[in-house]
Amino acid sequence: MDKISIIVPCYNEEEAMPIFYEEITKVADKMKKKAEFEFIFVNDGSRDNTLEVARGLSDKDKRVRYVSFSRNFGKEAGMLAGLEASRGDFIAIMDVDLQDPPALVEEMYDTLKEGVYDCVATRRVSRDGEPPVRSFFAELYYKLINKISKTEIVNGARDFRLMTRQMVDSILELREYNRFSKGIFSWVGYNTKWLEYKNVERVAGTTKWNFWKLFLYSLESIVAFSTVPLAVASILGILFCLIAFIMILVIIIKTSTVGDPVAGWPSLVCIILLVSGIQLFCMGIIGQYLSKTYLEVKKRPVYIIKETEETKR
Ligand code: UDP
Ligand code: MG
């Protein structure tokens, strides 16, 4: 019989976890003739009782496993830890807040069993319940990244997906420190089927994202999956050299023909400000790539595990 691993990153989710467990076990019961399950809760350094809840669930249900981090490492690290801990033939990643409908797991599994696809992923087609400003910038972001990155980043794609063991093993081969999973899932290739659904609101707890965090995350994904900004820096440099060259010619010709009344101090200041601004901007771009390279070469672990269901205290 097949085994399905359900990976659930959790950060301060003591309220949502029992509700999620309830729902996902219903799905497992419904599918018990087809597949067995393991549920892996990844406690991402929560400050509330998430770990206690995970311990409790694993005491009463042998299918529940958990991995608990020594501090908060972020959802990307949580997903990676889950994938590494998973033992199933099919592996799903789900949010604990029920924004990813557990009922879809069966449909996903049936699709994969047909043998055509390696992955069934989900994308939101509506952004109901989200601030309009955020939706606007999200749309803009997807347009931009897909222009400048060779890896397709699907608009509205969620992390909720079911994958085959083979695909997960490929994902685990990517050892990078700065992980942007939406890009990694797409980079490894394989056949993905997209299921579409409307945005569902959280059942309990609060979102861990705000506009600023999302903005930084989007910058990180651009650095991780595109080197076009570096080219932009060089192109701007060339452009400004050209402009300067033309200006020099104009000034030489003007001085030797009509003479040179000393004027133009304000325009000079403007030019200096503009050019130095652009220089700093380009240095910033290079700095972004340098800092990511710096973090990669340090080869720090992506997460540190403090406790699992096997080392429970
Ligand atoms: N999460 C995590 N570590 C973090 C932030 C979030 O493991 O540092 C988990 C969180 O518990 C949830 C999932 O990632 O299961 C998605 O988070 P959230 O619902 O806050 O994001 P949203 O759905 O609002 O994009
Ligand atoms: Mg959510």
pTM: 0.81
| Ligand 1 within 6 A of CB of 218 | no
Cα of 235 vs centre of ligand 1, distance in Å, is: 38
pLDDT at 240: 83
CATH code, residues 2-224+300-308:
3.90.550.10
**Backbone torsion region of residue 238, taken as left when φ is above 0, otherwise alpha when ψ lies between -120 and 50, otherwise beta:** alpha
- Round the average pLDDT of the chain to a whole number and report it: 88
List the strands of the sheet with 64-69, edge to edge.
192-197, 119-124, 157-164, 90-93, 2-10, 35-43, 64-69, 305-308
| Ligand 1 within 6 A of CB of 9 | yes
pLDDT at 127: 75
- pLDDT tens string 45-91: 999 999 999 999 999 998 999 999 999 998 999 999 999 999 999 99
Average pLDDT (102-116) is 90
- The token pair at 277 is 């601004």
DSSP string, 134-181: HHHHHHHHHHHHHHH-SS---TTEEEEEEEEHHHHHHHHH---SS--H
Other CB atoms within 10 A of residue 216 CB? 10
- The token pair at 263 is 């004027």
Residue type, 122: T
pLDDT at 57: 92
Percentage of residues of the chain with pLDDT beyond 70 = 99
Give the phi and the psi of residue 154 in degrees, each rounded to 5.
-75, 130
| Ligand 1 within 6 A of CB of 100 | no
pLDDT at 87: 92
pLDDT at 276: 84
pLDDT at 26: 92
* Ligand 2 (single-atom ion) residues, CB below 5 Å: 95, 97, 99
| Ligand 1 within 6 A of CB of 67 | no
Rounded CA-CA distance 228/209 in Å is: 27
Tell me the three state secondary structure of residue 255: helix
pLDDT at 238: 84
Distance of CA 106 to the CA centre of its chain: 25
- The token pair at 285 is 């771009």
CA-angle at 225, arms to 210 and 303, nearest 5°: 60
Rounded CA-CA distance 186/81 in Å is: 19
Higher pLDDT, 201 or 231: 231
Choose from 64-68, 147-151, 256-260 the range with maximum mean pLDDT.
64-68
Percentage of residues of the chain with pLDDT beyond 90 = 40
Higher pLDDT, 205 or 246: 246
pLDDT at 237: 81
Q: What H or E segment, with its residue span, contains residue 214?
A: helix 211-225
User: Over 80: is that where the pLDDT of 290 sits?
Assistant: yes
pLDDT at 6: 94
pLDDT at 60: 92
pLDDT at 91: 95
- pLDDT tens string 208-217: 788 888 888 8
User: Over 90: is that where the pLDDT of 244 sits?
Assistant: no
pLDDT at 128: 73
Average pLDDT (266-284) is 82
| Ligand 1 within 6 A of CB of 205 | no
Beta-carbon contacts of residue 118 (< 8 Å; ≥ 6 apart): 112, 163, 164, 166, 167, 190, 191, 192
Higher pLDDT, 165 or 263: 165
**Which ligand number lies closest to the CA of residue 8?**
1
